[in-house]
Amino acid sequence: MRILFDDGVVRDVRYIPGQATGSLVSPLDDPEYFAQVQVDTDAGTVVWPNGLDLAPEVLHGDYEPDNSLGFRDITPDRQSA
DSSP secondary structure letters along 9-28: -EEEEEE-TTS--STTTGGG
66 pLDDT band (50/70/90 cuts)?
Answer: confident
pLDDT of residue 78: 60
Residue 12 has pLDDT above 50, yes or no: yes
Q: What is the pLDDT of residues 25-62, one digit of tens each?
A: 999 999 999 999 999 999 999 999 999 999 999 999 99
Q: What's the CA gap between 46 and 40, in Å, rounded?
A: 6
Q: What's the CA gap between 10 and 66, in Å, rounded?
A: 21
Rounded to two decimals, the pTM is 0.85
Q: Kindly report the CA angle at 39 between 63 and 53, in degrees rounded to 5?
A: 50
- What residues does 12 pair with on adjacent strands? 2
